[in-house]
Structure 1
Amino acid sequence: MKKRTPSPKITEDEFDQIYRKYYSRLFYYAYGFIEDSEVCRDLVSDVFGQAWENMARLESATVGSYLYSCVRNKCIDYLRHDQAARQYAEYFREVAEEEEGMTPEEMEERFFAVKQIIAELPPRTRFVLEQCYFNNKKYQEVADILDITSSAVKKHIMKAFAILRERLSVIKS
């Protein structure tokens, strides 16, 4: 069996060349997922920031595939978070429409009901909801804090929304 020789590690000078070579390619790759140039610039910059921090562990032979994988994953995380945020916004649009005919006292009662429901969520689900929607953290950031996957974060968010919808519909009845 032939022993694999590790590729040489990347130096700072090589990193600069890699940045110049891949930045625009990765930007357009991200743009294929997310048609928002500012978001794409931020995502690609984040990936290069991570790559810079991990430069000592990167290998010249695989750096291109590493960068593309990171950009793809960042785009997927962004789209998942964006989708959940749209669902959240839609839910609150519906709630706002219901509240149009409410008195200030009824609205105050609804507000306290929502706060109470959130306080009664399972601790991890409440933490995830608060981090994502009150502290504006990305799913991956919360996943890193809790040492879980970003899909587990999404499941906690969906669970929180389901509980909120269910409990609020009981209150309305």
Structure 2
Amino acid sequence: MSYSTSNFSHLSDNELVSAYKTSHDKLLVGELYKRYMHLVLGMCIHYFKDKDVAKDIVLQIFEKLFEELKKREVENFKGWLTFVVRNHCISELRKTQAQLNRDLEYRYEVKMQSIEVEPEIVKEEEEKLEALEKALESLNPFQKKCIELFYLKNMSYTQIVEMTGYSVNEVKSYIQNGKRNLKLLITNSK
């Protein structure tokens, strides 16, 4: 099928996807962009909280669609797009978090190498670590497990839900209450 005009507004999402798979005409994806850019931007702003970053991510996602639509069988474009956006945003957030962790580790190593470590400071840090470990052992098992998975293993709420069988609200509650209880236990142990 040949499209001589760039006005595809009369075509359904499925027709646009099907036509793109055969013609590879990027104007067809451009029509999908017009229809769903606001939805995708809204989702990206939800994840990144920064409109400029979100706009960059929107462009990445629509660039990704050029290849993905050639390979995938898409029956419900809007639902599939929502899935792609969510996964892409989570992936980008993980990359950002991993980079932040590497940067923090590097800064810490540089700082530790550049200062002479005094025995009192080392002892104080060891005591803080011991107090934290002791407080962690005092938490109820649900809070302890969720705290360890979230903070020590860097797992997402979704991953914790899948691993433990708790609901998302339970996981959030266990983490929030566990964090508060840790602060109380550490403060009271001084």
TM-score, length of structure 2 as denominator length:
0.48
**Residue matched to 2:144:** 126
Counterpart contact for 1:132–1:142, Cα < 8 Å: yes
RMSD: 4.4
**1:159 equivalent among 177, 181, 189:** 177
Q: Provide the identity percentage.
A: 19
Counterpart code for 1:151: N
1:38-117 alignment runs, 5 A limit: 40=57, 60=76, 63-64=77-78, 67-68=81-82, 103-117=121-135
Bigger relative CO (Cα 8 Å, ≥ 6 apart):
1
Cα distance change, pair 123–70 in 1 and its aligned pair in 2 (3 A): farther
Structure 1 unmatched runs, 5+: 1-9, 83-101
Cα distance change, pair 120–129 in 1 and its aligned pair in 2 (3 A): same
Q: Distance in 2 between matches of 1:118 and 1:65?
A: 41
Determine helix, strand or coil for the equivalent of 1:143.
Answer: helix
Q: CA deviation at 1:141?
A: 1.2
| Paired residue total | 127
Counterpart contact for 1:125–1:157, Cα < 8 Å: yes
**What do residues 126-160 of structure 1 show as CA deviations (whole Å, max 9, x unaligned)?**
11111111111111111122222222211111111
Counterpart contact for 1:140–1:149, Cα < 8 Å: no
Counterpart contact for 1:142–1:153, Cα < 8 Å: yes
**What do residues 86-130 of structure 1 show as CA deviations (whole Å, max 9, x unaligned)?**
xxxxxxxxxxxxxxxx74323211210101111232222211111
TM-score, length of structure 1 as denominator length:
0.52
Q: CA deviation at 1:171?
A: 1.6
Determine helix, strand or coil for the equivalent of 2:154.
Answer: coil
Counterpart contact for 1:27–1:40, Cα < 8 Å: no
**1:31 equivalent among 23, 31, 44:** 44
**Residue matched to 2:114:** none
Cα distance change, pair 38–156 in 1 and its aligned pair in 2 (3 A): farther
Whichever of the two has the greater Rg, that structure is: 2
